[in-house]
Copies of this chain bind each other. A is one copy, B any other.
Amino acid sequence: MNKKLEHKLKDNSIKPTAMRLLVLKFLTEQNKAVSLQDIELAFERADKSTLFRTLKTFESSKIIHSIEDGTGHLKYALCLEGCNCSPIDLHYHFHCNVCKETFCLTELNVPTIELPKNFEMQQANMVIKGICGTCK
């Protein structure tokens, strides 16, 4: 397991420090998107800015992606294997108005959306809000 995480980082030219491995492991264990604060709470010994920079490092290597779910807390979640964060890789997200959790709906990819003439899609932030299955 840890070997696998270590490789994931090395493959992206990220030095697999203890902290980074812990954060990556934590992210792997979630079934929801988490905020910087969630991670701070999980690792009280670590500094916020270290965690922040860890997330930014992971994000720019496309190990994780971020979601603006409208809560004011940017959320992060693991990318799927082979994800390049290009339009073809994109999925919708769901934010529950009750439990306030944000989930990746990775089952369904974002379809091609007809844009006005000459518009080019590069990324997207798609968030559906409502009530999740657990809170229903």
Contacts and interface: CB of A to CB of B under 8 A. Distances in A.
Interface stretch (A10-18, A50-58, A116-124): A116-124
Interface residues of A, number: 32
Contacts of A118: 132-133, 136
A126 B126 contact: yes
A43 interface: no
A114 B108 contact: yes
B122 A97 contact: yes
A136 B131 CA distance: 39
Interface in A62-109: 68-70, 92, 94, 97, 105, 107-108
Total copies of the chain: 2
A113 interface: yes
A115 B127 contact: no
A117 B130 contact: no
A124 B127 CA distance: 6
A115 B136 contact: no
A116 B105 contact: yes
A133 B116 CA distance: 7
A68 B131 CA distance: 19
A117 to B, nearest CB: 6
Most chain B CB within 10 A, of A105, A108, A120, A127, is at: A120
